[in-house]
Amino acid sequence: MKRWLPILLSIFVLGASIAVRAETDAEVRARKEALDVAGAFSNDGFKIRDGHWCGVLKPHDHALVAVNLYAGNQYWFSAAAAEPAKKIAVSVYDETGKQVTTESYNNEEKAAAGFSPANSGQYFVSVDLVEGEGGSFCLVYSYK
């Protein structure tokens, strides 16, 4: 049994290092800005959902997040990016990949898209780098 202990500890440490990743300073700044945007919607009764998605936006690429949404609810997806990103956009697609019509908010490195799905199911939220170099971003969403 003792000869397996170092192997088990190695697996545990390896598993822990993969499962937990510290956010970078840029991701923390982007999250703060995304929460500021989402906070404006909370004035209209929207609740900010626990959790967020952070990552890196690259030129000519986009970040895609799958979410399960429910008909009858309203949603706002708020994102922000850290420099050197200059301008981002948020779009929403249904499960077939068709872009859905949303209300939008764009202010340079901050953007949001809001809508009420007609059908419950899986949707995809895209955060796109429109202008600038790649940089960290964060996405949060609100619902009511």
How confident is the model over 85-100, as a mean pLDDT?
93
pLDDT at position 108 is 87
pTM: 0.80
Name the pLDDT band for 15 (thresholds 50, 70, 90).
very low
Rounded mean pLDDT, 66-86 = 93
pLDDT of residue 69: 95
> How confident is the model at residue 22, as a pLDDT?
56
* Mean pLDDT value of segment 12-31: 61
| Domains delineated in the chain | 23-143 (2.60.120.380)
d(CA 38, CA 78): 6
- Residue 85's pLDDT band, with cuts at 50, 70 and 90, is confident
pLDDT of residue 119: 95
Residues 6 or more apart from 36 whose CB is under 8 A from it? 80, 110
Helix (H) or strand (E) holding 13: helix 5-19
Confidence tier at 8 by pLDDT (50, 70, 90): very low
Gap between the Cα atoms of 33 and 54, Å rounded: 12
Measured CA to CA, the distance from residue 87 to residue 110 in angstroms comes to 7
The mean per-residue pLDDT over the stretch 39-55 comes to: 87
* Owner of token pair 């249904």: 94
